[in-house]
Structure 1
Amino acid sequence: MSRTAPGSGIGNVGSPQYGGGVAGYSELLRAPGVARIIAAQLTARFPSGMTSLAVLLHVEQSTGSYGAAGIVLAALSIGQAISGPVTSRWMGVWGMRRVLTLTAAVCAAAVLALAINPFGMVGFIVFGFIAGIANPPVQPAVRTIYPKIVTSRQLTPLFSLDASLQEIIWIFAPVLITLVATQAGTVPALYLIVVILIGGCAWFIASPEVGRVRIPRSRRGFGRVLGKPVVLLSTVTGFLLIGACAAVEAGVVATFGHEGLEAGIVLAVFAVGSLAGGLGFGHIPIGRWAMARRLTIVAVGVTLVIVSLNAWWMGASLFVAGLGIAPALAVMFAITSASVRFSETAEAYGWIGTGQLIGAAAGSAVAGFLIDGAGPVGAFIAASGFGIAGALVAVICVRGFPDLRGRDASPIPDTEPVPLIT
């Protein structure tokens, strides 16, 4: 029997497996609305790869203190961590377009206020927190929309494609904002973020799919979705995975310096590995051991860096580690989608996003302490610890991961058909 969401157009569970490779993704992108919604959401999320760096540079330049910049970034991160599940749940109450429009407007205003802040350090902290807590929930929104615009056999590859293409943000956004900040100034850099944020969110909000998909109001209390083992596992493994990535980034910068060309190249290779992994492995069916295998690849890659901090060795090792990142994220998205009711999907993705944000902060913090004590290699020891912990969690809790091979990955309908006795 197939399990379909009302009006979703999801196909039968027994449909043939989605074909991998370029041809398979070409077929996926030809599905009505898919290419447009992917492009719109990537544009709307592009500022996420620019804001932290721009705020760091702007506050440091304004105050002359990296410590002050760190405090403002902490306020920004705390706001983002709080906003994830809260604003995602709001979409089931007031609708996606209203919540996205409100948060985008407030976030853009807060970033603009950071640029022209006349209130000194207090203003930086307050506006940074507001920018974080008003972060538009584009990621939970689009991952809630995906099951409604593709067939069941295309859903898992779509999650993989999404996880892969988001690496475009992390490859190009930091380079662009650094170029603008150093050549034109940090204030124009923040203005650029506002322009892209407003334009990208407007494009995404105007997409027909955003208007057509209605998230039912959840009947469960706030946070109850975390009681589902799959959501909790995805949140924990996401925390550990992104913690490892954040530690790697700190280690690369500590090794080559902020000015070193090698740092940018090595981090780009890391992101390209993730992009290649997602595109290359996205069609592989997801079994119970999928997360463990993919996180093991990450753990092995980041651990190999400890052997040598030579740029060539580091780049090769991080390319290997990258091969597991987008595929692991795709597993998180797919198993969450398949394990919660449609009304709970946005909040579930919000919690997963919060776990990743906390992981990024924890990874950076632990790496920073170890860099102070042991030098740049300390950051990669931290990354190895996070990566190995993630793989171990996936192995120990393997029975908590659903087997999606041959199964529909779309969310559980909020209204089930009632069988009739005849």
Structure 2
Amino acid sequence: MAGYRDLLRTPGVGRIIAAQLTARFPSGMTSLAILLHIQHITGSYGAAGLVLAAASIGQAVAGPITSRWMGLWGMRQVLTLTTLICAASIIGIAVLEVPLPVFMTLGMIAGLSTPPVQPAVRTIYPKMVNSRQLTPLFSLDASLQEIIWILAPVVVTFVSTQISTVVGLLLIVVILIGGGAWFIASPELGRVRIPRSKRRFGKVLARPAVLLGTVIGFLLVGATAAVEAGVVATFGKGGIEAGVVLAVFSVGSLVGGLVSGGIAVSRWAMARRMGIVTIGLVVTTISLNVWWISGSLLVAGIGVAPVFAAVSAMTTASVKFSDTAEAFGWVNMGQLIGAAAGSAVAGFLIDGMGPGGAYWTAAIFAAVGVLVAVVFRGGFPDLRGRDPSPLPDTTTIPIQTV
């Protein structure tokens, strides 16, 4: 903890973490709010899953593109435009009564225009701290983002179930605009300029760590999305149990992330961390009792933030600085497609066999993640004793000869 205190004393670090957490707070609310709102309107979790899938696919498609745009047009310009469009589309979902395909279209627009805050801030981090502090900073970031998943589900579940789902969505819009404005106004966004990448779009996926990070993110977030759908289906009617259970899941992740900050990232790190998630999720399938699910999700959560931290550190250490934003855009794309897949599969299984189907979906996603991490462990960089900063951008320097 002393190391984290020293890290937060670094000029600008505490401020940028707080600003980006606020800007990303809606990410912990939007899926759950849309799920509750569309299910309330249509009476079907399957229909709600389709809207969530459309939003996640839109966000996934746009992720690498808007991230690369930040190197072309600047972070502030891209973030401002996407924030405004995203807010307008969520307002449309909240106030309009339209057929399901229109809701899916609005969800797609919201996804396409989701502000690329995460790629932006993870591109900025290496320019704010020294190489020794970078891996702990990624762990701290992955841990503190669990505050979003602890508070946001409780807030949006309470507002949506006790007041109305429309108010829940409009609350997201307020936070989206306010948090986005704070992050966009941060001095670091003016000081750090992402160089224009000289590689063609998508070339960064040739880096094994980026590709594997994208796949692992797909599987992990697919599992967590299925858990979210299952918890809502189990406890989401007439109370706040769903939000509390999801908060417990995030508490486990917060603790695990803080502990992992002092552990060196080796090639086996991903398999070990995904293994913890899998064990907890397999145990979750045994019973739908609120105490049982809370305890098993607490265990599963211990591995979640450490996986995200390892993905961030390995991605950063494997690419040039000019490619970091696009690389994190691809990694984020994998996570979002995972959210779409996990939500859609879990939604239809809930309709067909009850909430237990969602927990089995989550366990299978996580188990495949362990398998990938073990089989392809050689593709992950070993960061023990190594500088995890991005690779330097090099250019040709003209030399005058006599």
Contact 1:231 1:352 in 2 (8 A): yes
1:272 aligns with 2:251: yes
SS at match of 1:409: coil
Residues 214-229 of structure 1: matches in 2 within 5 Å? 214-229=193-208
2:335 maps to a residue whose letter is Q
Counterpart CA distance in 2 for 1:202 and 1:417 is 39
Counterpart CA distance in 2 for 1:246 and 1:294 is 18
1:238 deviation in Å? 0.9
SS at match of 2:285: helix
Counterpart CA distance in 1 for 2:379 and 2:326 is 20
1:252 maps to a residue whose letter is V
What is the aligned length? Answer: 398
Which stretch has the larger CA shift, 58-67 or 164-173? 58-67
SS at match of 1:226: helix
For the structure 1 residues 371 and 194, does the alpha-carbon distance in structure 2 shift closer, same or farther, using more than 3 Å as the test?
closer
SS at match of 1:287: coil
What's 1:42 paired with? 21
When the two structures are superposed, what TM-score results if normalisation uses the length of structure 2?
0.92
For the structure 1 residues 71 and 381, does the alpha-carbon distance in structure 2 shift closer, same or farther, using more than 3 Å as the test?
closer
Counterpart CA distance in 2 for 1:192 and 1:343 is 36
When the two structures are superposed, what TM-score results if normalisation uses the length of structure 1?
0.88
What's 2:333 paired with? 354
1:330 deviation in Å? 0.2
1:384 aligns with 2:384: no
SS at match of 1:402: coil
Counterpart CA distance in 2 for 1:106 and 1:257 is 30
Contact 2:16 2:186 in 1 (8 A): yes
Counterpart CA distance in 1 for 2:325 and 2:242 is 35
What are structure 2's unaligned runs of at least 5 residues?
none
What's 1:401 paired with? 380
Counterpart CA distance in 1 for 2:335 and 2:356 is 23
Contact 1:289 1:398 in 2 (8 A): yes
For the structure 1 residues 294 and 74, does the alpha-carbon distance in structure 2 shift closer, same or farther, using more than 3 Å as the test?
closer
Contact 1:298 1:325 in 2 (8 A): yes
For the structure 1 residues 318 and 118, does the alpha-carbon distance in structure 2 shift closer, same or farther, using more than 3 Å as the test?
closer
What's 1:241 paired with? 220
What's 1:367 paired with? 346
Contact 2:19 2:179 in 1 (8 A): yes
What are structure 1's unaligned runs of at least 5 residues?
1-21
Counterpart CA distance in 1 for 2:281 and 2:207 is 30
For the structure 1 residues 365 and 65, does the alpha-carbon distance in structure 2 shift closer, same or farther, using more than 3 Å as the test?
closer
1:205 aligns with 2:174: no
Counterpart CA distance in 1 for 2:17 and 2:104 is 33
Contact 2:350 2:358 in 1 (8 A): yes
Counterpart CA distance in 1 for 2:367 and 2:154 is 30
1:143 aligns with 2:143: no
1:339 maps to a residue whose letter is S
1:74 deviation in Å? 2.9
For the structure 1 residues 149 and 217, does the alpha-carbon distance in structure 2 shift closer, same or farther, using more than 3 Å as the test?
same
Contact 1:117 1:123 in 2 (8 A): no
Identity %: 68
Counterpart CA distance in 1 for 2:243 and 2:92 is 30
Contact 2:45 2:348 in 1 (8 A): no
Indicate the RMSD between aligned Cα atoms, in angstroms.
2.3
SS at match of 1:279: helix
1:120 deviation in Å? 5.5
Which stretch has the larger CA shift, 384-393 or 243-252? 243-252
2:222 maps to a residue whose letter is G
SS at match of 1:106: helix
1:165 deviation in Å? 1.0
1:92 deviation in Å? 0.8
Residues 21-32 of structure 1: matches in 2 within 5 Å? 22-32=1-11
What's 1:160 paired with? 139
Contact 1:294 1:324 in 2 (8 A): yes
1:112 aligns with 2:91: yes
1:292 aligns with 2:295: no
Q: C-alpha offsets along residues 199-239 of structure 1, whole Å, 9 cap, x if unaligned?
A: 11111011111111111111111111112111010011111
What's 2:69 paired with? 90
Counterpart CA distance in 2 for 1:64 and 1:259 is 15
